[in-house]
Amino acid sequence: MYRFDCVKLYRDNSKSVLFLWEVKHVVVVEVVVGVAVASASVVVIAVIVVITAAAVVVVVVVVVVVYLVVVVVVVVAAAVVAAVVAVVEELFIVIVVITKQNLQ
């Protein structure tokens, strides 16, 4: 709006040419600034996407590690329980055998 009002004010040819030259350069500067801002926006969006993807990867890795730790703990606990049960069974058998021998 401002540009058109100024063009009406500059009726002299030299001033019009000078003003149009200035307007052309202002438009070029505005286009360059607009492209720069758009590029910066794209870069910011790309950075946000990369950070979000990295956060998702970290969460997935943490979940997998926790899952593996739980699996290892369960397997070790099962092995310990199996070993204790085996020892108790052997002791029970020994006690039964000794008791039978004593009763005879």
Asked if 16 contacts 7 with a C-beta cutoff of 8 angstroms, the reply is yes
What's the whole-number average pLDDT of the chain? Answer: 79
Distance in angstroms (rounded) separating the CA atoms of residues 1 and 75: 76
pLDDT band per the 50, 70, 90 thresholds, residue 5: very low
Q: For residue 98, is pLDDT > 70?
A: yes
pTM, rounded to two decimals: 0.47
More confident residue, 23 or 17: 23
Average of pLDDT values for 59-72? 95
pLDDT of residue 22: 56
In degrees, to the nearest 5, what angle opens at C-alpha 51 toward C-alphas 48 and 54? 150
Asked if 46 contacts 38 with a C-beta cutoff of 8 angstroms, the reply is no
Distance in angstroms (rounded) separating the CA atoms of residues 104 and 99: 9
